């Protein structure tokens, strides 16, 4: 029999602020984390805006000797994990360490460090490459370093499935606990690739918004004037725990995991099929895994990237899965405020989904002023909404046609 799994801790590093309280308050007030890029000179770039983390201090979470050998995406992951442990009150011991897993997602890894040392190698020679270079850049080091820092000896896994990575990580962690492979899992996603190569690369694909003169209004999912997504960075980490294990220590419970779905489009390297078939099957799988009917879901944290094709296709997929109930759902894209954190997005949005259930509040979709004719559902425009939420779904769809969906429900004891 599958074991029940609950969320007992959360941690966030986002463009809205470092820490859960700063981010959640900003999110519910419709605050934007998007601004002009400060990390590098954008003179020669078409796209000059991104959602940067502005208030992060690694020294608050990581030993200085360690942090200087870590790429920023790993620093964010460790910091969010430390917050999660503090929030959950969980203590690692020699007796329980082997039953605690770490499963995180990352889409790209240490690209800024690759850029840096490629330049050093060309200008000063390959002998100037640090011996820490490879461990700094490989994408599994989020999970690896969390495990090392906290002494966690259970399953250790990194998922690299583009923009679905964080949600896949949470789903896999849920599956592992449910199946008995571990009792606790630290899970989520992190990404930090606001650098010339990444911004230039996504820009050349025409995937990014070019609304440089209005950064705060640039991310506008489901709006007819949307013109691309906003590069963002950050980390979202959750502690998942087997229910009886959590009860035994009197843990605070934010929400209960209920279902997980994953699928492939088998269609295109970057674009979804116009009928949303992969997303449809993924949402249906998550509902079946949860043993839920479509009318059990009250809220969807949408993938909602603010790209012309994605928002329409996701809307079509939701309509196909939910039928008449699609008109009764509340749907919002928190990327309208945080930007798109690529492989970290699903982890952050999983935290948002848990917080929505815990507080019974749905964050808004910011900048939705003129809805696309095909995007005609309830996207909670402008203002957060206090309402009854029994169960919520979180969608993530990535390049390569990889899809992930999780469902959480309000914990009822």
Q: How far apart, in whole angstroms, are the C-alpha atoms of residue 155 and residue 140?
A: 13
Compute the 3-state secondary structure of the chain and give helix, strand, coil in percent, each to the nearest 5: 40, 20, 40
Name the residue among 11, 393, 396 with its Cα closest to residue 165.
Answer: 396
Q: Which of 106, 163, 182, 375 is catalytic?
A: 163
Number of continuous H segments (helices) and E segments (strands) in the chain: 13, 15
**Is 163 noted as a catalytic residue in this protein?**
yes
Compute the distance between CA of residue 32 and CA of residue 210 in angstroms, rounded to an integer.
Answer: 16
- 159-198 in b/e form (b: 16+ CB < 10 A) is bbbbbbbbbbbbbbbbbbbbeeebbbbbbbbbbbbbbbeb
CA distance 103 to 122: 36
Among 230, 200, 237, 239, smallest CA distance to 342 is for: 230
Q: Which residue has the tokens 């948002």?
A: 352
Catalytic residues: 163
């Amino acid at each position: 029999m599958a074991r029940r799994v609950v969320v007992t801790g959360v941690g966030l590093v986002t463009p809205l602020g470092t820490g859960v309280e700063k981010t959640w308050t900003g999110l519910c007030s419709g605050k934007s984390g998007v601004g002009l890029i400060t990390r590098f000179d954008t003179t020669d770039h078409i796209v000059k805006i991104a959602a940067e983390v502005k208030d992060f201090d690694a020294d608050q979470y990581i030993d200085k000797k360690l942090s200087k050998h870590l790429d920023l995406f790993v620093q964010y992951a460790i910091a969010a994990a430390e917050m999660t442990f503090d929030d959950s009150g969980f203590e690692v011991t020699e007796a329980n360490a082997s039953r605690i897993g770490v499963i995180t997602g990352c889409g790209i890894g240490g690209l800024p460090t690759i850029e840096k040392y490629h330049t050093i190698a060309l200008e000063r020679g390959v002998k100037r490459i640090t011996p820490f270079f490879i461990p700094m850049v490989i994408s599994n080091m989020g999970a690896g370093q969390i495990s090392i820092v906290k002494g966690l000896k259970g399953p250790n896994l990194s998922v690299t499935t583009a923009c679905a990575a964080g949600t896949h990580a949470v789903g896999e962690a849920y599956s592992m606990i449910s199946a008995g492979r571990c009792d606790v899992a630290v899970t989520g996603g992190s990404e930090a690739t606001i650098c010339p190569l990444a911004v230039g690369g996504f820009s050349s694909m025409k995937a990014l918004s070019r609304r440089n003169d209005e950064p705060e209004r640039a991310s506008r999912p489901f709006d007819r004037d949307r013109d691309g997504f906003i590069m963002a960075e950050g980390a979202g980490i959750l502690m998942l725990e087997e229910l009886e294990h959590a009860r035994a220590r009197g843990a605070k419970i934010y929400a209960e995991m209920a279902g997980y779905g994953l699928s492939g489009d088998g269609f295109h390297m970057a674009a979804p099929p116009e009928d949303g078939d992969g997303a449809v099957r993924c949402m249906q799988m998550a509902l079946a895994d949860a043993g839920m009917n479509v009318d059990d879901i009250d809220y969807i944290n949408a993938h909602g990237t603010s790209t012309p094709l994605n928002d329409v296709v996701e809307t079509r997929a939701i309509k196909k899965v939910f039928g008449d109930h699609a008109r009764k759902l509340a749907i919002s894209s928190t990327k309208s405020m945080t930007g798109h954190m690529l492989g970290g997005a699903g982890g952050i949005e999983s935290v948002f989904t848990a917080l929505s259930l815990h507080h019974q509040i749905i964050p808004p979709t910011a900048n939705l002023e003129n809805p696309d004719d095909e995007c005609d559902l309830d996207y909670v425009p402008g203002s957060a909404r206090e309402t009854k939420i029994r169960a919520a779904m979180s969608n993530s769809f990535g390049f390569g046609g990889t899809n992930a969906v999780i469902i959480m429900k309000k914990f009822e004891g």
